[in-house]
Amino acid sequence: MQKISSGVKNLDSLIDSLYIGDNIVWEVDAGTSYDVFVQNFIRQSFNEAQTIVYVSFNSSPQSILSRIKDFLPPDHFILFDCFTSGKGKNDETFLKFYKTKSGLHVVRIEDPKNIDQFTHRLNQIEESLPPGARYVFDSLTGMQDLWGNEDDTYKFFTYMCPRLYDLETVAYWILEKDAHSQKFKANLRHITQVVFELYRRREELYIKAHKLEGRQDREAFKPHAYEIKASDIGISFPKKGPSREIGSRIKEARGRLGMNQKELADKADVTPSFISQIENNQISPSLSSFLQIADALNIDPTELLQRDTRQKELPWHITGESIKQRLIEREGEYSIYSVVSNGNSSVYLTVIHQNKTLKKHFLHHKKNEFIYVLNGEVSVKVENNERHLRTGDSLYLKESVPSEWRNRSGKEVDLLIFYT
């Protein structure tokens, strides 16, 4: 499953990142600052040169742009305005936005109460975009207010959610938790891939998952406190004690032996479900069960109890293994991994597959770009000029964009790309 970042490092760690195809429903209480999660998702998408389609029912174009103007690339943003002629009632205050040229792609829906017209225009936009676009639907609650009932909102969601999944997008859907019936929320949870709840308790903010399709770890289903400082979100994690580490060590030992859960369960005289729950740190085994499992693994029980002496992760240390887990795009000719994405600068590892030729560039940033050949030999065409690059060679591009890359090695070519 191809993973992408939510733009919030702690959230990525908690849920094993977002997956291509995910529709993420956010059930939010007032005062939970959900917009900061949305803004980080938008910023991360821009850093990865992905287009954001922002569908607004609750906010005016002026309000939306004021929140993201500091990191907004006009060529990667489409605003779908259902507010001005919806809740905005064609008020002159909102219409004046259209009297000046913004330089942005803004689609104003003149009759957003007409669901068929709205859906048709949105489909036209979707079909014009390459795979990988990201979506933000700012308010399922606003849709319901405008359309008059939950049924129409639910029907739209049941149509659009599978469609966006098949288009290999990632979409955020926001709803105000107390404005919808339990039946409506339960139906959405059944269809979508991911559901988060944001709520307040005694002045503390909490995030909790209600659905995480395709993930094994259950930690996110417990409440986790979070704090917001400016645009940064910190999510607290409970300290891991020995009982929480045992499951991971059993799973690792079983994997080394090439044994599946059923085989281990049969040898230890327990059920496969019991093994699964232990490995996912959902339960702790009794002493007798623990000894049976250790015996089945032919391992000294003390090895499963010893503290992990591996080096802890440090913010300034990036391993090659961790980079290969940050795949953001894969085509037949190449793969792109995110190394660092921080504000206005980004670093990517691009791998051109063996004997492959690209008739385009990898990413489409309008930024200064430095490309360094880590290993291999490749030719590149820039403005009809072709150059051969070998290990240690580099390119520095300010405005020009390569039109062709050709792998001239008998193996993969690795390129390190810096955007500033």
Nearest-5° Cα angle at 327, 332 to 196? 130
320-375, pLDDT tens digit by residue? Answer: 877 876 676 777 888 888 888 665 678 889 999 999 999 988 776 556 899 999 99
Domains with residue ranges and CATH for the chain: 3-235 (3.40.50.300), 242-305 (1.10.260.40), 320-419 (2.60.120.10)
Find the helix packing angle between 34-47 and 61-68, rounded to 10°.
Answer: 70
Backbone angles phi and psi of 69, in degrees to 5: -60, -30
For residue 363, the one-letter residue type is: L
Would the pTM count as exceeding 0.95? no
The rounded distance, in Å, linking the Cα atoms of 266 and 275 is 10
What does the block give as tokens for 243?
């009982």
- Report DSSP state, residue 110: S
pLDDT of residue 196: 97
Strand intervals (E) in 48-167: 52-56, 77-81, 105-108, 134-137
Residue with tokens 């007798």: 288
Give the pairing of strands 23-28 and 170-176: parallel
Cβ pair 379, 397 in contact under 8 A: no
Residue 185 has, within 13 A of its CA and on its CB side, a CA count of 18
On the question of pLDDT at 310 being above 60, the answer is no
pLDDT of residue 309: 47
What does the block give as tokens for 72?
């907004």
Q: Return the closest-CA partner of residue 270 out of 301, 292, 245, 243.
A: 292
Cβ atoms within 10 Å of 418's Cβ, excluding its own: 18
Cross-strand pairs, 348 = 338, 417
- Contact partners, residue 284, CB within 8 Å, separation at least 6: 243, 246, 278
On the question of pLDDT at 417 being above 80, the answer is yes
What does the block give as tokens for 155?
């029907």
What does the block give as tokens for 126?
């979707």
128-182, pLDDT tens digit by residue? Answer: 888 789 999 999 999 999 999 899 999 999 999 999 999 999 999 999 999 999 8
273-290, pLDDT tens digit by residue? Answer: 889 878 876 677 888 889
